[in-house]
């Protein structure tokens, strides 16, 4: 069911699906947070599996989907997005939920866990990072994000999507069936230039503070998920793992940057096991082939 919740900043749109009949009622709800250019539709296939056991809430983040930001003072930061997700849970009368975030949504989920730890039961970060540790790297990335935001506004969505799909980060998607790639392209083309540009400037990697120094304070179990063919984010996950008090890293075989799309059965098996209480702390020591950063 698609719901719209009125907030001080605007209207938050989300998919709110109850568990299938007969599912355990004591299981925590699951919140799904999409990546840049996504929406609640990004989780359409996964939601059916998660609903077998729990209530599933997929939120359109600011600048995406049907969520509308009307407050001219909204700062579009990662922290503001995390606060908006927490406020959405409060409006739904949900005290605590498990949270799964992909890429940008993973960074929002991490920020939410740090700012509102009591609201997060278990945390899953798929192809996500804790930001850039170097101030110089953040400045360069912020400048690049600003140029890309200007290009989105000036050239339109179609030109941007062509550029976005050509990034080396998404090279592994060429292995996917044409129908899968077409569906993903339609989601991206449905985005609004102003929303994407504002999101990129405020919530992009360059604008995000380095959160690595705070990860040890997180009390909840954390699962890091990366794709076998995504060398960059597998390295990132491996470097972050020792910083968590209770962290696990799983690598999805045959997947690139989008494990939930590229290898859904394997991804869901790993995530469901973790959410059900499985998973153990494991260090990642396997040597990786050198990959190109994007």
- Please give the sequence-ordered ranges of beta strands (E in DSSP) within 41-160, or none if there are none: 56-59, 68-69, 97-102, 120-126
> Torsion angle of alpha carbons 216, 222, 223, 224, nearest 10°?
-30
pLDDT of residue 20: 84
pLDDT in tens, 38-51: 999 999 999 999 99
pLDDT in tens, 130-162: 999 999 999 999 999 999 999 999 999 999 999
Domain borders along the chain are 2-132+208-275
pLDDT in tens, 162-194: 999 999 999 999 999 999 999 999 999 999 999
pLDDT of residue 96: 96
How much is the average pLDDT of 224-234? Answer: 97
What is the number of other CB atoms lying within 10 angstroms of the CB of residue 238?
18
Structural tokens at position 96: 């605590």
pLDDT in tens, 203-213: 999 999 999 99
What is the number of other CB atoms lying within 10 angstroms of the CB of residue 6?
10
CB-based contacts of 102: which residues, under 8 Å, 6+ apart?
Answer: 33, 34, 35, 38, 42, 126, 127, 128, 258, 260
Query: Nearest Cα to 87, choosing from 62, 64, 106?
Result: 62
Structural tokens at position 201: 């400037």
**Confidence tier at 27 by pLDDT (50, 70, 90):** confident
Structural tokens at position 199: 């999101």
CB-based contacts of 278: which residues, under 8 Å, 6+ apart?
Answer: none
Q: Are 78 and 132 in contact (CB under 8 A)?
A: no
User: Residue 61 and residue 58: Cα distance in Å, rounded?
Assistant: 9
How much is the average pLDDT of 61-74? Answer: 96
Q: β-pairing, 10-17 with 2-6?
A: antiparallel
**Confidence tier at 22 by pLDDT (50, 70, 90):** low
CB under 8 Å, gap of 24 or more: what pairs does 191-194 form? 191/37, 191/64, 191/157, 192/63, 192/157, 193/152, 193/153, 193/156, 193/157, 193/160, 194/63, 194/153
Q: Which CATH number fits domain 2-132+208-275: 3.40.50.880, 3.40.50.1820, 3.40.50.300, 3.30.70.20?
A: 3.40.50.1820
């Amino acid at each position: 069911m698609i719901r719209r919740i009125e907030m001080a900043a605007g209207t938050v749109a989300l998919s709110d699906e109850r568990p299938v009949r007969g599912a355990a009622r004591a299981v925590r709800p699951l919140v799904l947070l999409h990546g840049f250019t996504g929406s609640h539709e990004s989780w359409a296939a996964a939601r059916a599996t998660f609903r077998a056991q729990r209530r599933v809430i997929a939120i359109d983040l600011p600048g995406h989907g049907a969520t509308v930001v009307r407050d001219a003072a909204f700062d579009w930061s990662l922290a503001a997005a995390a606060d908006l997700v927490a406020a959405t849970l409060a409006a739904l009368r949900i005290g605590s939920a498990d949270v799964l975030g992909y890429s940008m949504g993973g960074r929002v989920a991490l920020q939410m866990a740090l700012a509102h730890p009591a609201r997060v039961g278990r945390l899953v970060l798929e192809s996500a990072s804790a930001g850039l540790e170097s101030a110089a790297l953040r400045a360069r990335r912020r400048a690049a994000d600003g140029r890309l935001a200007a290009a989105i506004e000036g050239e339109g969505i179609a030109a941007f999507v062509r550029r976005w799909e050509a990034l080396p980060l998404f090279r592994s998607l060429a292995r996917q069936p044409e129908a899968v790639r077409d569906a993903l392209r339609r989601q991206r083309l449905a985005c609004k230039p102003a929303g994407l540009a504002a999101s990129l400037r405020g919530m992009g990697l360059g604008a995000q503070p380095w959160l690595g120094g705070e990860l040890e304070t997180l009390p909840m179990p954390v699962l890091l998920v990366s794709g076998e063919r995504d060398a960059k984010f597998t390295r990132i996950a491996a470097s972050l793992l020792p910083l968590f008090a209770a962290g696990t890293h799983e690598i999805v075989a045959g997947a690139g940057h989008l494990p939930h799309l590229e290898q859904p059965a394997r991804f869901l098996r790993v995530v469901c096991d973790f959410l059900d209480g499985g998973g153990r702390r494991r260090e990642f020591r396997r040597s990786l082939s050198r990959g190109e950063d994007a």
